[in-house]
Amino acid sequence: LTLAVQFLRLNETAGLAQHVIFFCCVLALLFTSLRQTLVVGLLERLREAENAILRNEADMYQLANFDALTGLPNRRMFEDRLAQALREAEPRQGRVAVLIIDLDHFRQINDSFGHQYGDVLLKEVGTRLQSCVPTHGSLARLGGDEFMLMLEWVTSRTDVAALSQSLLQALSRGAWDDVPARHFISASIGISLYPDDAADAVELLRNADAALNEAKSAGRGAYRFYIEAYTEATRRKLELRNRLHTGLSRGEFHLVYQPQLDAQRRLVGLEALLRWTLDGRPVSPSEFIPVAEDSGLIVALGEWVFAEVCRQVAQWRARGLNVPVVSVNVSARQLLGQGLVNTFAGMSASAGLQPASLMLEVTESQLLDERMLPCAEALHAAGFALSMDDFG
């Protein structure tokens, strides 16, 4: 308004040149004001962009280094910390321990109650484990139901064993908070120490995993320290797994029949037992059956055993031999599969056998899993006899 008044007064007395100069000054002031406004707006947008970049960097760091479910460090951060710990321990000849913690039978909980329930349980597991971690320890979640703990400044295996026992007790004690149903949770722990068991991080993690497998094989709910024999056992399992894939096609498997006698020593049944001869040497069933179950090959093996039993029983009866009931072991994977009843019924019918001529043996621990009961009941309804193996 003041500029407008000044312009009107100038218009009355000034000449053309003064008008032009005044007008240019007004334009300069307007452009300066506009420029200042644009600069302030631009600076504000730059500050917002910078803050957004910082937030994104923080989010990216969180996603890259921490587990989204439990908030614990993930594998990447754990391995970075482990590498740093080993570099610091080397000059002072210090010890570093790695513990791999795996929940027992967690998949059954997920399958029975859903992943949302399992996630709540995993968060509680992380909280309980973290409450036991000393100041010189670092806990991480690798994914699934596996956690990993690194301990620096380790003085003795006894201390590590005591901590491992505390971790197992923390998981098994009392009720679980914020969990919609109560479950008894147990875990298996594999332990490896630097430099006792390994010279670098890769070897340390591998050996801890080998010790974990041994803890599971020993019955779970326990911890095991690594020894060289575990690595040899792992290599042996891998070799057996590779050879199992071709064992059936090479004719390396055969059956033997164990007679079952009553108190008067009369034959009342036979049990078909699977045997494997590899490179001219027998492989113990206690060695290759768990490998076959873990790899899923037990399904193909189980079907071959059942078909071979049907063929043999039909052959014996064709010769006039009075063969009583023959027992056949059925694995957990078979009971969880689809179409087992139709497969077994078709095989027995093709051999001209009644289902009641065959006794299907199921272990007690398998029937504790409710998912297997429908298949067991369907087999019974189809006429197959059932018996409980390894009772108690």
What is the pLDDT, as a whole number, of residue 370?
Answer: 77
Confidence of residue 111 (pLDDT cuts 50, 70, 90): confident
What rounded mean pLDDT belongs to the chain?
84
User: CB–CB of 163/171 below 8 Å?
Assistant: no
Closest of 201, 12, 166 to residue 88, by C-alpha: 201
Tell me the mean pLDDT in the region 350-359. Answer: 92
What is the pLDDT, as a whole number, of residue 304?
Answer: 95
Q: Which two tokens stand for residue 9?
A: 């007064």
Does 54 have pLDDT greater than 90?
no
Confidence of residue 207 (pLDDT cuts 50, 70, 90): very high
DSSP string, 274-323: EEEEETTEEE-HHHHHHHHHHHTTHHHHHHHHHHHHHHHHHHHHHTT---
What is the pLDDT, as a whole number, of residue 392?
Answer: 60
Task: Select the highest-mean-pLDDT range: 329-338, 365-374, 378-387.
Answer: 378-387
Q: Which two tokens stand for residue 173?
A: 């004690």
What is the pLDDT, as a whole number, of residue 22?
Answer: 65
Q: What is the DSSP letter of 1?
A: -
pLDDT digits (tens, 9 = 90+) for 5-48: 555 555 555 566 666 676 677 677 777 777 777 777 777 887 87
The reply to whether the predicted model has a pTM over 0.85 is: no
Residues contacting residue 195 through CB under 8 Å, at least 6 positions apart: 93, 95
User: CB–CB of 74/62 below 8 Å?
Assistant: no
Q: What is the percent of the chain where pLDDT is above 70?
A: 87
Q: Which two tokens stand for residue 72?
A: 């614990």
Maximum Cα–Cα distance for the chain, whole Å?
143
258-287 burial, b at 16+ Cβ within 10 Å, e below that, comes to eebeeeeeeeebbbbebebebeeeebeeee
What is the pLDDT, as a whole number, of residue 158?
Answer: 86
> What is the spatial distance between Cα 197 and Cα 321, in angstroms, rounded to a whole number?
59
pLDDT digits (tens, 9 = 90+) for 152-198: 999 888 888 889 999 999 988 755 555 544 566 889 999 999 998 88
Comparing 173 with 276, which gets the higher pLDDT?
Answer: 276
What is the pLDDT, as a whole number, of residue 176?
Answer: 55
User: CB–CB of 245/278 below 8 Å?
Assistant: no
What is the pLDDT, as a whole number, of residue 256?
Answer: 96
Residues contacting residue 244 through CB under 8 Å, at least 6 positions apart: 288, 291, 292, 295, 297, 301
Comparing 209 with 4, which gets the higher pLDDT?
Answer: 209
pLDDT digits (tens, 9 = 90+) for 301-351: 999 999 999 999 999 999 988 888 999 999 888 888 788 999 999 999 999
What is the pLDDT, as a whole number, of residue 88?
Answer: 93
* 57 burial level (CB within 10 Å; 0-12, 13-18, 19+): exposed
Tell me the mean pLDDT in the region 222-237. Answer: 81
Confidence of residue 65 (pLDDT cuts 50, 70, 90): confident
Residues contacting residue 147 through CB under 8 Å, at least 6 positions apart: 72, 100, 101, 102, 125, 126, 129, 139, 140, 141
